[in-house]
Amino acid sequence: MSPSITGGCACGGIRYQTQTEPEFSIICQCRQCQRITGSGHAAAFAVNTDATRLQGKIKYYQTQADDGSTVSSGFCKNCGNPVVKKTSGYPQYLFFHAATLDDPACFEPQMVVYTESAQPWDHIDPRLQRR
Using the rule CB under 5 A, which residue among 62, 79, 104, 110 binds Zn ion? Answer: 79
How many Cβ atoms are within 10 Å of 91's Cβ, its own excluded?
A: 10
Query: How near is the Cβ of 21 to Zn ion at its closest, in Å?
Result: 22
Question: What sign has the CA pseudo-torsion 45, 127, 39, 101?
Answer: positive
Q: Which stretch binds Zn ion (CB under 5 A): 1-9, 16-24, 59-67, 97-105?
A: 1-9
From the CB of 3, what's the least distance to Zn ion, in Å?
26
Interaction between residue 11 and Zn ion (CB under 5 A): yes
Q: Are 74 and 85 in contact (CB under 8 A)?
A: yes
State the Cα angle at 18 between 42 and 108, rounded to 5°: 40
**By CB under 5 A, is residue 28 in contact with Zn ion?**
yes
13: Cβ contacts below 8 Å, ≥ 6 apart = 56, 57, 76, 77, 78, 79
From residue 112 to residue 131, what is the string marking binding to Zn ion with x (rule CB under 5 A)? --------------------
Q: Pick the closer one to Zn ion by CB: 55 or 92.
A: 55
Q: Which is nearer to Zn ion, 13 or 40 (CB)?
A: 13
Q: What is the sign, positive or negative, of the torsion defined by CA atoms of 51, 92, 117, 73?
A: negative
- Candidate ranges 4-12, 62-70, 96-104, 119-127; the one touching Zn ion (CB under 5 A): 4-12
